[in-house]
Structure 1
């Protein structure tokens, strides 16, 4: 009976999520459906067979993935995953894809993100995460409370938490992390940060006690987690979007700790050295290889609202014409049909088709780059 309840909950969450276009384009949903299909295929019963049938139907409805996860306030696949793990605990996987990010060295906040660094002097020991309340971060940044060092969102329980840890431990004078705004249901980044502060991580770098979908920290070290736990007090104001109350709490916290926010050399000298990956410096290509499938001529047709793409062989014979309303539909058709075979050629087409689409929207004349054109 317990499993049946979880199966019913999984079904209702995924069914509602698939009614939204944003979910049909989300890597989080696709990953959930694929994992569910694999597990249900190995655990067929009268109850699971119905869910398997619908899961396969939903997979067919998925559109080209545009983002890995956007951390919605209610994340349908994440909520479904939590029930999935309760129904099939043996299926829990530790794999986390797409979890890398650039770490910049010798800067106050080494990991790039959507946050506002304010740092107004020596008395701003508070960092604020607005969790899934994106607009709240900008509201607080515009007010510019003197106690506030940095404010930004944290929408996911893995990469989002990784970034918080990196940016906090690089600035040793941040003593409080104030959690505000709505917690994303399913990901529970706020509850994950509370669990991290209280319990730390296990030997797989999984946050102990987190209710999140996949609280696995892949971009920080155990030493950085320990430093985070020792350095900051994580304060629970989850659910609060009242800027006056948040500022009042921040002022009360600041009064208990006299510290700078690391703007001076003295403050930065005690910062923990963040682990980082090698950053490749991109250079202009030395030469281009011709794609054996031929070349493309891109012709915007603003009067029709279409983009026409002609595909030619290298003896200038027209092979086919592709027409579409936007860049994505055209390059997807080209890739799906195997009319391009090289990654650099695919990248070129994506760039040029985007330019063509933009030219129709903004009214400027489109001129195709000649890298893969018939003039070579």
Structure 2
């Protein structure tokens, strides 16, 4: 029987999460509430009844899901799930998560994602995960250290780690995985990677010794996990966001990898695995164009201020509003949250253009939106 304090802590985490709009649209929260409802329903007790009623009310308050999980530094549903597993140990056996991802054949990094890749040969042996610190990945990418092969976030302890394993075992150049940035409380993807290196996985593909919410790998094989563990040394700089220190560690690790003659140590060479067979669907060009009833956007990067403007117009060319931000992500998030785009194809187009505009500021090239040319003001 769980203690009152355990029930109270679960309630507090979920109540605080449900007060946030982002959590009410998150698949992670919905999955947690559904699992908790099932667990409480099979453990009927007076001490659980109020939490069950609140859980059912929270499920009613959930909005259409917009993302599976955004990997917040403190993930309320993930923390709550860990508390639920402590209060109801049998609930830990229930795995309702089901995530898969696209795999690109014949690609250096077969799993697409929000990362920056620079691999240019055997002298870039370091991969960096910035865990839940998304901005840190961009900072390191802008510096382009020669030792860096790939850098990106790892926000979740299951699909996030699946992607890391897939991309690393496909690149035997990578000898080190450097863990940096803040570890998401609840998901603990950084601690899960450390546990994976130390202990591997059990017969259910659960990472042994992970403190994460649901550290079960579904998109990799036992063989891929073992090659990953043999191929890379995982270096713990969790909580470090000092760019100079991280770059210095990259250089130190790279020097370790090479002998005095400058040749890579061949004894560590890892075999590249053939990725698991998955179905491949050929993409097609759109056959029709649909106008979004909310209007259209003109994207204007401002290099001198390092910001992006998105001007929103109606179809009679009336300027409705101007949205300003310093990243593509902040702009499209604001636009979607306010309902200023209503069609998926329009949202996809907008995300692509905003990303190009952001890159134009970072790399200094002239941005051209679609087929229209816009000159920056000088």
TM-score, structure 2 length as denominator?
0.73
Q: Which runs of 5+ in 2 are unaligned?
A: 260-267, 296-313, 321-337, 350-378
Q: For each residue in 1:253-293, what CA deviation from the matched residue of structure 2 results, as whole angstroms up to 9, or x when unmatched?
A: 1111129xxxxxxx99942222241111245799xxxxxxx
Q: For residues 74 and 56 of structure 1, do their structure 2 counterparts lie closer, same or farther at Cα, with a shift above 3 Å needed?
A: same
Give the superposed CA RMSD. Answer: 3.0
Partner of 2:65: 65
Whole-angstrom CA distance in 2 between matches of 1:231 and 1:350: 40
Task: Report the alpha carbon displacement of residue 120 of structure 1 after superposing the two structures with TM.
Answer: 4.0
Partner of 1:316: none
Deviates most, 170-179 or 34-43: 34-43
Partner of 1:215: 215
Contact 1:102 1:276 in 2 (8 A): no
Whole-angstrom CA distance in 1 between matches of 2:204 and 2:37: 25
Q: For residues 326 and 233 of structure 1, do their structure 2 counterparts lie closer, same or farther at Cα, with a shift above 3 Å needed?
A: closer
Report SS of the residue matched to 1:100.
coil
Whole-angstrom CA distance in 2 between matches of 1:111 and 1:300: 34
Whole-angstrom CA distance in 2 between matches of 1:91 and 1:3: 16
Q: For residues 254 and 351 of structure 1, do their structure 2 counterparts lie closer, same or farther at Cα, with a shift above 3 Å needed?
A: closer
Task: Report the alpha carbon displacement of residue 95 of structure 1 after superposing the two structures with TM.
Answer: 3.0
Task: Report the alpha carbon displacement of residue 122 of structure 1 after superposing the two structures with TM.
Answer: 3.0
Q: For residues 350 and 246 of structure 1, do their structure 2 counterparts lie closer, same or farther at Cα, with a shift above 3 Å needed?
A: closer
Report SS of the residue matched to 1:227.
helix
Whole-angstrom CA distance in 2 between matches of 1:138 and 1:168: 20
Partner of 1:19: 19
Task: Report the alpha carbon displacement of residue 5 of structure 1 after superposing the two structures with TM.
Answer: 2.3
Q: For residues 26 and 172 of structure 1, do their structure 2 counterparts lie closer, same or farther at Cα, with a shift above 3 Å needed?
A: same
Whole-angstrom CA distance in 1 between matches of 2:151 and 2:54: 41
Is 1:275 aligned to 2:279, yes or no? no
Partner of 1:159: 159
Q: For each residue in 1:177-224, what CA deviation from the matched residue of structure 2 results, as whole angstroms up to 9, or x when unmatched?
A: 000000001110000000000000000101000111111100001000
Whole-angstrom CA distance in 2 between matches of 1:283 and 1:84: 45
Partner of 1:94: 95
Number of residue equivalences: 302
Which has the higher Rg, Structure 1 or Structure 2?
Answer: 1
Q: For residues 300 and 162 of structure 1, do their structure 2 counterparts lie closer, same or farther at Cα, with a shift above 3 Å needed?
A: closer
Q: For residues 106 and 268 of structure 1, do their structure 2 counterparts lie closer, same or farther at Cα, with a shift above 3 Å needed?
A: farther
Contact 2:194 2:234 in 1 (8 A): yes
Q: For residues 271 and 353 of structure 1, do their structure 2 counterparts lie closer, same or farther at Cα, with a shift above 3 Å needed?
A: closer
Contact 2:231 2:269 in 1 (8 A): no
Q: For each residue in 1:145-195, what CA deviation from the matched residue of structure 2 results, as whole angstroms up to 9, or x when unmatched?
A: 111111110000111000000010111121110000000011100000000
Whole-angstrom CA distance in 1 between matches of 2:200 and 2:274: 19
Q: For each residue in 1:40-91, what CA deviation from the matched residue of structure 2 results, as whole angstroms up to 9, or x when unmatched?
A: 1221222211111111111111111111111111100000000101111112
Partner of 2:8: 8
Whole-angstrom CA distance in 1 between matches of 2:348 and 2:231: 46
Contact 1:130 1:182 in 2 (8 A): yes
Contact 2:231 2:270 in 1 (8 A): no
Contact 2:121 2:173 in 1 (8 A): no
Partner of 1:246: 246
Q: Whose RCO is larger (CA < 8 A, sep 6+)?
A: 1
Whole-angstrom CA distance in 2 between matches of 1:299 and 1:145: 45
Whole-angstrom CA distance in 1 between matches of 2:213 and 2:45: 25
Contact 1:28 1:77 in 2 (8 A): yes
Partner of 1:205: 205
Q: For each residue in 1:4-45, what CA deviation from the matched residue of structure 2 results, as whole angstroms up to 9, or x when unmatched?
A: 222111111001101110000001101111111121122122
TM-score, structure 1 length as denominator?
0.73
Whole-angstrom CA distance in 1 between matches of 2:26 and 2:46: 29
Report SS of the residue matched to 1:256.
helix
Report SS of the residue matched to 1:178.
strand
Q: Which runs of 5+ in 1 are unaligned?
A: 260-266, 287-296, 307-324, 332-348, 356-376
Whole-angstrom CA distance in 1 between matches of 2:319 and 2:115: 38
Whole-angstrom CA distance in 1 between matches of 2:108 and 2:319: 47
Q: For each residue in 1:226-248, what CA deviation from the matched residue of structure 2 results, as whole angstroms up to 9, or x when unmatched?
A: 00000000111000000011111
Partner of 1:128: 128
After TM superposition, what 4+ stretches of structure 1 lie above 3 angstroms from structure 2? 267-270, 282-286, 297-306, 325-328, 349-355
